[in-house]
Structure 1
């Protein structure tokens, strides 16, 4: 890389994008990498505060910021992502499909511990739409030692999964069992069904049906088994999740031989959330807050299950950090801190 005076630069090829800022009007590249400087460009460059420009002198072992950013994006990207061409040395990664963003927090940290590497992402497990920006990367210097990029590529390759990917939510067959003798006998109107059906369908899955069950262990178990026999791939059991003596939903699920992952989650609202498995079929016990709170533990965990992820208790308890909903007057999830 060689530094020359702007007045002497006619015919030179720019080695990087050059940004022009017009306060209150625009900010962006005025001249792109590869542009051949013309006589009429000289006053513009000077007006941008450029007294010198840099031209490529082919120093062995150095690579340009654009190439470095592209290689970083490629090394970190997995399925469900696309990335654009470098702009002013930065590459932006976007979702190629609707789904859930999965980020290797350890992997991104490892890249950023390398000197001059910059890699920024959205939070792990965030729901995204096709076209959403999910990450950006660049290097700090205009030219960087290729050894740094080779090390970044090596680090990315040591992880068993991509550092970044967007997993689509599968269309599953979902059965809903709503418990509570007061609902079963028609004393009060069911409020769970419409909420759960709307959410399940918004995630692209199909509701097999909704069954009402009294506060009876054998009845609840019979309803769950009925949906399993119909080929349900997820079962939602709503109501009866507190510690009152007549709230028997957790007991019914545990005593039918399901593998209990957790009864309770460090998430508010949704602390009485339950997750169990019958084989590969997740059974979710949903507390009353799911009826009236816009976003709860259900919204944090169900979409991940719909990608095919099998959650452990550790996956759930990790959300104690970030699991507090602020109950905003207007819910903006996922554009907030909840579940992050």
Structure 2
């Protein structure tokens, strides 16, 4: 329960909540923290902040203070790879990445959490690459005092399936690369794909074990795949041969190598002819030629998810469509752009 008193009568009372001061363009922070004892010198400052009255709190058994609520909410939201400090500021607690990795948001949980009255959580986009110590989400109870029941209900929703906000470590995968194409194999043109793929792999802290150049020959593509599997590769990337041209036989080579699951086509531009296949749970990614002349393609959206162990199927490739259109900006600023943010 809240009791309102005149600020002039508050001398000697302890503040029941942080009081925020905002100076546009200069400052936003707590001018007075919860627990501060009001003195005569504070009266003018408080009045300048628009505080002609203050609240005294006398909590009922079923009520909870915003700071207590924020702690309960943060505990429910935090999943794997998330850290937070039980020291609410202005009723808010921030969630941080415990280590480098890929941020994953359970969007259904987050929406259900935010449907509970008087609580909120906001996060970065799911599948954002983050660094250790980076803020990835924040939560708070909206009123100063609220009923305990909705707070506990929201926290229970958030805690389902291991928490709503998590950061997963990217695996240091052994990656095999197969460059297909008669023109490259026969030396008619220099291979430009391998250096591009190598940079994408090493930027994500994995490493390439072997690069093979093979012609547009189904049997030789199959053999190259089998060699990488025998060498215990965790992931195989294949470039070229992904279009509908009769000489493009990469997909047939993948099938002949034993693929039991294959998904051809992604709802993304660039990258519509992307392919995901699995042989004995080893993912194979078919990278179309757009990867040669676009800095960022669907591969950049899928590769980090593969490296945290997600299994990518038709549903995942379909859901990329929302936000899957690259704007081909004159100067690419990815990941600070809309591409891939709707997943």
Q: Which TM class, normalised by the smaller chain length?
A: over 0.9
State the match for 1:196 in structure 2.
197
Instruction: Please say which of residues 264-273 and 113-122 is displaced more in the overlay.
Output: 113-122
TM-score between both structures, scaled by the size of structure 2: 0.96
The count of corresponding residues between Structure 1 and Structure 2 is 339
State the match for 1:99 in structure 2.
101
2:46 aligned counterpart, secondary structure:
helix
CA distance in 2, matches of 1:145, 1:76: 19
CA distance in 2, matches of 1:70, 1:295: 39
Instruction: Please say which of residues 249-258 and 165-174 is displaced more in the overlay.
Output: 249-258
Q: 2:149 aligns with which of 132, 147, 150?
A: 147
CA distance in 2, matches of 1:42, 1:60: 32
Instruction: Please say which of residues 211-220 and 312-321 is displaced more in the overlay.
Output: 312-321
CA distance in 2, matches of 1:24, 1:98: 32
1:160 aligned counterpart, secondary structure:
helix
State the match for 1:122 in structure 2.
124
State the match for 2:111 in structure 1.
109
C-alpha deviation, 1:289, in angstroms: 1.1
TM alignment of 1:152-301, pairs within 5 A: 152-157=154-159, 159-301=160-302
CA distance in 2, matches of 1:220, 1:135: 45
CA distance in 1, matches of 2:72, 2:127: 24
C-alpha deviation, 1:125, in angstroms: 1.6
C-alpha deviation, 1:262, in angstroms: 0.7
State the match for 2:13 in structure 1.
12
CA distance in 2, matches of 1:217, 1:123: 40
Deviations 1:37-94 (A, max 9, x none): 1221112111212111112223321111111112111101101112243111111112
C-alpha deviation, 1:23, in angstroms: 3.3
C-alpha deviation, 1:24, in angstroms: 3.6
Q: Is the 8 A contact 2:226 2:257 kept in 1?
A: no
State the match for 2:340 in structure 1.
339
Deviations 1:161-198 (A, max 9, x none): 32110001000100100000100011000000100011
CA distance in 2, matches of 1:23, 1:100: 34
State the match for 2:51 in structure 1.
50
2:58 aligned counterpart, secondary structure:
coil
Structure 1, unmatched stretches of 5+, are none
CA distance in 2, matches of 1:76, 1:296: 32
TM-score between both structures, scaled by the size of structure 1: 0.96
State the match for 2:134 in structure 1.
132
TM alignment of 1:13-28, pairs within 5 A: 13-28=14-29
CA distance in 1, matches of 2:67, 2:270: 45
CA distance in 2, matches of 1:169, 1:145: 40
2:320 aligned counterpart, secondary structure:
helix
109 and 52 in structure 1: CA distance in 2 versus 1, 3 angstrom threshold: same
CA distance in 1, matches of 2:27, 2:285: 51
C-alpha deviation, 1:160, in angstroms: 2.5
Structure 2, unmatched stretches of 5+, are none
Q: Is the 8 A contact 2:240 2:288 kept in 1?
A: yes
23 and 164 in structure 1: CA distance in 2 versus 1, 3 angstrom threshold: closer
Q: Is the 8 A contact 2:261 2:279 kept in 1?
A: no
Q: Which runs of 4+ in 1 moved over 6 A?
A: none
CA distance in 1, matches of 2:155, 2:141: 14
RMSD: 1.3
Say whether 1:322 aligns with 2:317.
no
Q: Is the 8 A contact 2:176 2:209 kept in 1?
A: yes
C-alpha deviation, 1:25, in angstroms: 2.6
